[in-house]
Amino acid sequence: MITHPKAQELTTAVARWIDELRPDLDPRNAFLARVSANVLGVIGRELTLGPAAQAAATERLTVLLDYRGTFEELNADLCRRLRAGEMTVETPGLLAALKANVLDQLAIDQPNYRHEGSAPP
């Protein structure tokens, strides 16, 4: 059987390689290499955590908005309702849904971020 590396494995390997090169680079390129390695980390986490985070967000928005739709449809409707003042911080479940969605996105974008009330690293 022919197997190949998964996208997550590839992004991790390239990020590690960049990190190995970084100490020998001039400051500007060392910074750009670090940014590149971080971008690859975000891509890898998006590939592994993104589908579940989006599914969970879709479910939260489905409950909050009381209808089924795609994540994009539900999110656009939520934004419209917020702009129109149809939903506010007093809307039951709004803040909890938004917080959960943000924490799921932070796990992808900034996995070392520790929010108030989270377990220590």
Q: Count other C-beta atoms under 10 Å from residue 53's C-beta.
A: 21
Contact 21, 33 (CB under 8 A): yes
Helix (H) or strand (E) holding 34: helix 27-65
Q: How many domains does the chain have?
A: 1
Rounded average pLDDT over 14-26: 95
Q: What's the pTM?
A: 0.80
Can you give the pLDDT at residue 5? 85
Q: Is residue 114 part of a domain?
A: no
Q: Is residue 121 part of a domain?
A: no
Give the range of the structural domain holding residue 63, as residue numbers without chain letter: 7-109
Q: Is residue 119 part of a domain?
A: no
